[in-house]
């Protein structure tokens, strides 16, 4: 279920910033960005964002504004920039370029909206075939009985992953990554060359498989494991390099 992030009337950080910029009156003695930054910050303080990605988008724009604003408080030229730091003027140009690009699509979206509005007055005929033509259709239910459909439904309802009932009130059983990690190492010690599928063959649910996957990545990162995959979505083959379980745990978990 995606988060419904409705940031009042604004559809994101660029939308908000463009709006503030348009409202901004230009006083030639003012430093324009100071006022905009102030308004922007006070706005994002008020809004409640539940989505991390959206939040970081707003914060990134905010920090860029602050950076540009502070540039004029500092001595003319800074030569102490970090290697990966963008000079304020460059940051300003980047921000403007993104605003310009975004506005182009926003304008296009308004034109699409107008088109949709006028199109919504055209109705198509959504009526089935006349009876006499219906008979022509092959009987696609010929070999199907109503019982077949019932059996299919039972299959879905009793399938592990098809739990469509609201379970938000149930506390999920936490899976201990460390525990899985230890089990994975033991399995790999017993059989040094095996596929990821083999390793997770007895997993009861997706969460468990994911936990194994994380364990594998951790082992790989620490050079305890070689990984290979011949083709996209193909089998992940693993080769475990001999170490004691203790060594591995110590390397990864520090105990």
Residues 112-171 that bind other proteins (CB under 8 A): 112-113, 115-116, 118-130, 132-134, 136-138, 140-141, 144-154, 156-159, 161-166
Only one of the segments 5-13, 170-178, 200-208, 219-227 lies at the binding site for other proteins (rule: CB under 8 A); that segment is 5-13
Choice from 19, 44, 86, 102 touching other proteins (CB under 8 A): 102
Q: Could you tell me the smallest distance in angstroms from the CB atom of residue 212 to other proteins? A: 20
Instruction: Please enumerate in sequence order all residues whose Cβ is within 8 A of that of 134, keeping only pairs 6 or more positions apart, or say none.
Output: 128
| Residue 81 near other proteins by CB under 8 A | no
The helix or strand, by DSSP H or E, that contains position 181, with its residue range, turns out to be helix 177-190
| Residue 75 near other proteins by CB under 8 A | no
Contact status, residue 186 vs residue 217, Cβ threshold 8 Å: no
Letters for 12-51 (x = contact with other proteins by CB under 8 A, - = none) are xxxx-----x--x-xxxxxxxx--x--------------x
| Residue 77 near other proteins by CB under 8 A | no
When the beta carbons of 129 and 241 are compared against other proteins, the nearer one is 129
Helix (H, G, I), strand (E, B) or coil at 76: coil
Letters for 222-251 (x = contact with other proteins by CB under 8 A, - = none) are ----------x-------------------
The CA distance from 60 to 82, in Å, is: 18
Q: Find where tokens 């920090």 sit.
A: 63
For residue 155, what are its two tokens?
């299959």
CA-closest candidate to residue 187, choices 173, 204, 201, 207: 201
Q: What distance lies between CA 128 and its chain's CA centroid?
A: 41
């Amino acid at each position: 279920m995606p988060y419904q992030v409705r940031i009042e009337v604004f559809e994101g950080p660029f939308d908000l910033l463009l709006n503030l910029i348009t409202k901004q009156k230009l006083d030639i003695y003012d430093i324009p960005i100071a006022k905009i930054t102030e308004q922007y910050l006070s706005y994002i303080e008020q809004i409640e964002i539940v989505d991390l990605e959206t939040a970081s988008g707003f914060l990134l724009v905010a920090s860029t504004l602050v950076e540009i604003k502070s540039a004029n408080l500092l001595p003319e030229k800074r030569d102490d920039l970090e290697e990966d730091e963008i000079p304020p003027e460059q940051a300003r140009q980047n921000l403007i370029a993104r605003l310009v690009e975004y506005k182009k699509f926003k304008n296009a979206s308004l034109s699409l909206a107008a088109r949709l509005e006028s199109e919504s007055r055209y109705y198509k005929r959504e009526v089935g075939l006349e009876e006499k033509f219906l008979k022509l259709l092959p009987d696609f239910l010929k070999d199907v009985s109503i019982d077949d459909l019932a059996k299919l439904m039972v299959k879905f309802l009793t399938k592990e992953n098809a739990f469509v009932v609201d379970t938000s009130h149930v506390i999920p059983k936490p899976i201990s990554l460390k525990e899985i990690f230890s089990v994975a190492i033991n399995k790999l010690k017993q059989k040094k060359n095996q596929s990821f599928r083999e390793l997770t063959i007895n997993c009861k649910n997706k969460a468990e498989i994911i936990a194994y996957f994380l364990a594998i990545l951790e082992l790989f990162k620490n050079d305890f494991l070689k990984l290979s995959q011949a083709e996209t979505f193909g089998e992940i083959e693993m080769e475990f390099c001999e170490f004691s379980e203790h060594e591995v745990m110590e390397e990864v978990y520090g105990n």
